[in-house]
Amino acid sequence: MTKAELQSIYRDYIACLNKQDWPMLACFVDNDVRHNGNQIGLAGYRSMLEANFADIPDLHFNIELLVAEPPHIASRLHFNCTPRGKFLNLNINGANVSFTENVFYKFHDQKIVQVWSVIDKTAIEAQLMADSDRSDA
């Protein structure tokens, strides 16, 4: 798989998530996919994403930076959204938050077999703190 092919597959995967086209997910994600060390499998992966969209109705994945070196791709994703209730154990309650996720993927046979994701919780906390300071003023 070339670098260009990998980037193209990845962009199609992100488009699939943004369309919430769950039947298509199997074209991009391996049956035995591992996420942050846990073998959650395709069904677990789909459940995780469906829960994300239920908790954050305006969730949209924006690719800010892509670094591809087959079989790996690293992506910096940007989000600007309004989680309904809790997110990462923080009380968001419909506030608008903007944050990033730095995430690595390993591909095999054109499908994602491993994901290592870190979300910038510190950035979200800083925004909630600033909002709370403003409402205290």
**Kind of pairing between the strands at 29-35 and 97-108:** unpaired
Whether 77 contacts 63, CB under 8 Å: yes
Which of the ranges 8-16, 19-27, 46-54, 101-109 carries the binding residues for its own copies, by CB under 8 A?
Answer: 101-109
DSSP class of 36: T
Is 95 one of the binding residues for its own copies (CB under 8 A)? Answer: no
Is 117 one of the binding residues for its own copies (CB under 8 A)? Answer: yes
Is 104 one of the binding residues for its own copies (CB under 8 A)? Answer: yes
Binding-residue pattern over the window 24 to 63 for its own copies, x denoting contact by CB under 8 A: ----------------------------------------
Whether 102 contacts 118, CB under 8 Å: yes
Dist CA 71 CA 30 (whole Å): 14
Residue located via tokens 């906390």: 125
Dist CA 132 CA 8 (whole Å): 41
Which of the ranges 10-18, 21-29, 46-54, 69-77 carries the binding residues for its own copies, by CB under 8 A?
Answer: 69-77
What is the contact surface with its own copies in residues (CB under 8 A)? 3, 65, 67-69, 72-74, 76, 88-89, 100-104, 116-122, 125
